[in-house]
Structures are given as C-alpha cells and as structure tokens.
Structure 1
C-alpha cells in the first residue's frame, strides 16, 4: 500500500506529542473522492482533541477539519468528470435519517460528528471524503483561503444569521475577536449591515480589527470594555453578543446587552462553567442562545457569500506540514490573528 506523510499523535498531551510520520494512503470508497490536500487550517478543536477532549476520537489521531485540495480519484458511483476539481470540504457529518436532518437542521443531528475531530482529518497529503461534502471552489480563490473557511465561517454564519437573527442596523459585540471564528463573526456582521463592537488584546490586533470594519474596538488589557460598550451605545447596550470565551467574559457580555438582546455562544475557551443572574434574564428580557457549526444549506450560503467577494477569509500564517507542532504552539499561545494554515 502507498504511504503518505501525516501530522499525528499517539498520546494526548502538549504540542510535543505531534510528529510527522508515514501512514497508509487511503483509497476512495463508493460515493467518495480522494482529495490531494493543498492546504489545511488549524482550529481550537485541534487543541482540545490533542489534550484529550473529547474522548471520542481516533487514536493515534490525525487532526485537521478544514481542508482544500484537488480531486485526484473518484470512487464507485462518482462522476469521473470531477477529477481535477478544486474543492473545499464540509467537515460536518450527520446521519441524514433523524428528524433534525429531515428538517434541514444537520448540526442538531443526534449523531452529529465533525470530520477531523471525531475521525482522522486532513493534516496529511491525501484524504478520502464523501463526494457530496467536497464543494467546488472558483479558480480565483486560493487553497489557503478556502481552507480557512469551513469550521470558523460556517459557525459564525449560523450564529449570526440563523440563531441570533441579526438585522441590518443592529449593534453586535464580538468577544475574543482575534480568533478565527470571532474574526469571521466580525466580517459576517459587517456584511449584514450591523454596527460592530469588538474585544481583543494588543495594539496590533486593535488596528487590524478596525481595518476589517469594526466600528469600536476595545483592548481588554487597557479598558473595562463592558463599561465602554455601555458608554458608546449611549447607555443602551448592544442587540447581539457573540460569545466564545465563557467564564472570563460572561458577566461583561450579559451586562453589555440591551433590553431584548440576544447572547449567542459557540464556545468556552476560558472555561465551560459560568454564573448567570436570572434577574438580568427576565428583567432585561434577554435570550441566551447556543449554536454550533451549521446545516448544509447554511454552509452553502456562506460559500456563496465568499465566492461573491462579500467576505474575504483572514489568514494569520502559512506553514509547511512538517511544522505542525510549531503551528499547534502558535495557536496555543494565542498570538495569532486569523487562521493558521498548513500546506503539505
């Protein structure tokens, strides 16, 4: 059997467990295509899996949920005309049979999984994936930009468009706004005609968020951002808060909401447990909304917006696959702005 290089770890731990090894090259099964990987992006979920969260995954494990490349082989039942097609992969895995799948809510599927998290992924040279999860990308979109899209941009799209029901002219506060999904949320909110408030750390990140179109940017190391939001909204608060940090920012996020506001959360990087004063919920009549990933149609809507040039993915750095451990270290240190991309 032919072999290929992969960034793999055999045990949970820090970035030092990630190493480059030779593994068997896959073959496409019925209904699948073999994609030669040209670019793959890191996500925080790659850090969680490496550390042992969730426990339901493959071991040894090849991470990487965000992949773009070229179809080089078609399995039985797949049009051979797709050979040579430039594609990006939707990493959402759903059963297609439950009630939620039937009504198009694929990310709420009772058997929902993420390719590259619960299965081996794309930090390698070739991957076999279901053909209907490989979406053609235009020639003017680079593989690196395409790889930056799947996890972050579909998550931000669903969070704001579907779950938070954002309307033009509303105010949106994005917490932790230098991470991949939070940056995507800033871009999606701007695209939808919202006024954007963002919280980050460091002068450079403040400047870059302003360049992306954020109207108000707060350096959390320099100001009490919740008080600043209150002042800059004329003591009204924002209509929507996009949360992904959790324990460290939750109280400020709730305080920043206007009456009738919506807090939508897709993560808890600083800790999963938060305190919520129920009086602020009923007195201000706010909503706390959970979200994760996206449905097939939401993923496709996001891609159309990108292909039309309404959103441009933000890339922090591009590194060779051989530097996968260093890429893990950079993401874990939190100094990045945008997506870290690995190229075989």
Structure 2
C-alpha cells in the first residue's frame, strides 16, 4: 500500500536542522543570463570524450541527420547488453491519461558496464516530476520511442565506474542532475556546460531515466548526499535545482525580500517555498485548494490566497501595503501570469520554469516598462548550482516535502496521484523492498 510520508515515516524536517529558528546566510549567487532551451530530436548521450550509455538499454535505431556525426548516430544502437535483467517502470505508449499505459517490467535489460566518465547507480528511491507526465503524453518537438523509462530524480549507490580515477565514487550515496550536454562543437560565444546550450538534454526525457533498479549517469552530474534519507534525497534534486537557479542565480534573491509563489503544492513550488524561507523572506502563496494553503502556512507562508479565478493581485498588494512583491515565482503560466505582473513592486522580477496551464498568457507591457520589471525564463540548472544546492540539503538546511511513498508494483497508482494533482510535495518510489 502507498505510504503517506507524514504518517508512516518520520517527518523529514524533524530529522535534520531547519531554518525556522536560525537562517544561515545564503551562498552568494552567481550572475547568469536566462533564456529557455529548445528541445530537439532525441539523441544519444555523449559528453565530450565520453561514449554513450543510452545505448546500454535503448531500443532506438540508428539515425543520421544533418549535423550529427556518423559516430554519434552509430552509438544509438549496437552495444551488447548484459544477459541479466532488472525491474523498470515503463510507459508503453504515449496517451492521456498516462497511468493506464504504465507498468512494472520484470525483464528489462540491465545497463552495460559504464564507460569512461560514467557511473552505474543502483536505485534506492526515485521520484516523480511533471516531466514524467510529459513523457507519458508525448513531448512536443520530440519523437520519442516507446516503451521507455522516464525519471529525472533518484537517489542511489554507485556500483561501478568507467575510469580508474573515479573509483572513490563506488559505494557513495548520490543524487544526480538530469541536465546533460551532448557532444558537439559549441559556438565561441556559448556558455560551457550550461542549460543555455542548444543541445542540452534530459535524462528521463530525451534519454531513459531513473525509474528502474539501475541507471547510468555522467560522473560530473553526481552529488554526494552522505547518509541522508534516500526518500528525501530522491525527491530533492530537480525541483530544488530549478528553484535555486531561477530564484538565486537569475533573480538575485536577497534575504528579507517578499516572494509570491503560485500553485503551491507541486515540487518546484514547494522547493521555492523552502528556499524563500531559507533566505528569511516574507512569502505569499496561491492555490485553488484551501487545504494546500493551510499546509503552506504550516511550512512558513505568511499570506495565502485561494485562487478562484479572481484578480488576486489586489490581495497581494494589500498584504505588502500597496508596494508589491520583489519576486513572483510562477510555474502555472497562462492562468496566473497577469496577476503576477500586477503584483510586482517596481524593479521586481517574474521568473517562470514552466506553464502547466498553458503558454499563451496575457501580459501588461505598460507595467513592465514603467515599473522596470524583469521577466526571466529558467530551465533546470548547471552542475555547479546543483552541487551548491545539494550541499545545503546534505547540511539539513533545505528539505523537500514528501507527499506519498509507493512501491514499484504500485507505479500505476503513483501516476494516477501525479495526474490527479491532489498531492502536496513529491511522490516517491521506494525500490528497497
């Protein structure tokens, strides 16, 4: 049976130190420009100088297209699989709803031994993101083949590495950054190893992911989490990285500022709440569900707004004594964008990592230029940012919110809960049983 993390397991926030009484001075942010990355036809997963590991359990066929070296195309297929098999949660075909197309496979081929620069990780726990639904429904602009394994978040133990120099990683409990940059010749003016790169791709989307007993990942994308709880660790990575990159690196969040977070309850929104609390910010959240607002208030939100389709920007301005908020974090999109713009203080920033309600939003350009607002797009984050935010998790200064823990054989129920949007925090699969 699925376990409510709050009732069946100790509250993660009671297991380590929190910032409710003392806020550690935040790590100094790094400046960065921002634009969203564009998806392309799925390709193999070579980093500079590294062979492709996608082929270890890929069912893709060789594909050659302009601009793709023949060597890269050959690596899509042709690796010899080990005879052993593993359990894996697979999506058999794209469609809506996703859950009926999901099943636990007992006979999925295990990845082969990792090549140079890669690690084979035995999964302890994996966690769901909205990305899992996109993979199940079909990602616009990507021609994905099915069945496939999604999963951009997991905690596991390194079992094998491809280089002698990487052997200290063996036996280490890790999480990973799912964003990888494929092998190619970057432009001279392009930031290195950045999600701004035209060919940045995702483990769990472009490439088979972590909802399986084992997966392969680049060594440089790993972060050591010590003896941290695997359930919490699995739930932490992608959403915390996304929230940190957009709030701290791009929007330059400062201690004591006021922050608006729309659609509280999802992984990115709850991570944004934790980061804002870590910085000692005043926090306002919105939701269509009163129970989610009540939960957010327990976690540190000082203002909650029930979103019933009204112009709630007036409530935000009343809360800030007509000043407006310094930062609006909006992953909802079309349904909330204009209210966010109207809620911002002069010089404020609007940041978006997604648009679950749709991309075609109405805005107010007069407010944007007159109030000198910043509108920032953000997608995941760099490995440097990932290690920075992972260090805060390991120190107990940032914690994910866990909704429910399922076993692998309950994967369809996990997808149903994710699709139903009735969760608050992350949904996790525990592979240790």
Coarse TM-score class (shorter-chain normalised): over 0.9
Select the residue among 205, 217, 230 that pairs with 1:129.
217
**Equivalences for residues 66-81 of structure 1 within 5 A:** 66-81=153-168
Question: What is aligned with 2:233?
Answer: 146
Structure 1 position 257, deviation (Å): 0.9
Structure 1 position 59, deviation (Å): 2.7
User: CA separation of 1:33/1:244 partners in 2, compared to 1, >3 Å: closer, same or farther?
Assistant: same
**Equivalences for residues 55-204 of structure 1 within 5 A:** 55-95=142-182, 98=186, 103=191, 106-139=194-227, 141-204=228-291
Structure 1 position 102, deviation (Å): 6.9
Structure 1 position 156, deviation (Å): 0.2
Is 1:319–1:327's contact at 8 Å kept on the other side of the alignment? Answer: yes
Q: Distance in 1 between matches of 2:290 and 2:300?
A: 16
**Equivalences for residues 208-223 of structure 1 within 5 A:** 208-221=295-308
Structure 1 position 258, deviation (Å): 1.2
Number of aligned positions between the proteins: 343
**Equivalences for residues 187-266 of structure 1 within 5 A:** 187-221=274-308, 225-266=312-353
Structure 1 position 75, deviation (Å): 2.4
Q: Distance in 1 between matches of 2:265 and 2:221?
A: 28
Question: What is aligned with 2:129?
Answer: 43
Q: Distance in 2 between matches of 1:101 and 1:124?
A: 38
Select the residue among 88, 92, 117 that pairs with 1:6.
88
- Whichever of the two has the greater Rg, that structure is 2
Q: Is 2:392 aligned against 1:305?
A: yes
Q: CA offsets, 1:59-104, max 9 Å, x none?
A: 3210001011111222244533432211112211024763599745
With normalisation by structure 1, the TM-score equals 0.94
Cα RMSD over matched residues? Answer: 1.9
SS at match of 1:79: helix
Is 1:104–1:296's contact at 8 Å kept on the other side of the alignment? Answer: no
Structure 2 gaps of 5+ residues are 1-82
SS at match of 1:326: helix
Question: What is aligned with 1:33?
Answer: 119
67-76 or 35-44: which moved more?
A: 67-76
With normalisation by structure 2, the TM-score equals 0.76
User: CA separation of 1:203/1:127 partners in 2, compared to 1, >3 Å: closer, same or farther?
Assistant: same
Q: Distance in 1 between matches of 2:320 and 2:216?
A: 50
Is 1:32–1:78's contact at 8 Å kept on the other side of the alignment? Answer: no
SS at match of 1:281: helix
Q: Distance in 2 between matches of 1:10 and 1:184?
A: 31
Q: Distance in 2 between matches of 1:257 and 1:100?
A: 37
170-179 or 127-136: which moved more?
A: 127-136
Q: Distance in 2 between matches of 1:98 and 1:12?
A: 33
Q: Distance in 2 between matches of 1:29 and 1:159?
A: 33
Q: Distance in 1 between matches of 2:190 and 2:223?
A: 21
Structure 1 position 298, deviation (Å): 0.9
Q: Distance in 2 between matches of 1:81 and 1:285?
A: 50
Q: Distance in 1 between matches of 2:188 and 2:164?
A: 27
Is 2:221–2:383's contact at 8 Å kept on the other side of the alignment? Answer: no
User: Which structure shows the bigger proportion of residues in strand conformation?
Assistant: 1
159-168 or 47-56: which moved more?
A: 47-56
Structure 1 gaps of 5+ residues are none
Q: CA offsets, 1:212-244, max 9 Å, x none?
A: 111112222497532211111111111110011
Question: What is aligned with 1:272?
Answer: 359
Question: What is aligned with 1:341?
Answer: 428
Q: Is 2:325 aligned against 1:325?
A: no
216-225 or 124-133: which moved more?
A: 216-225
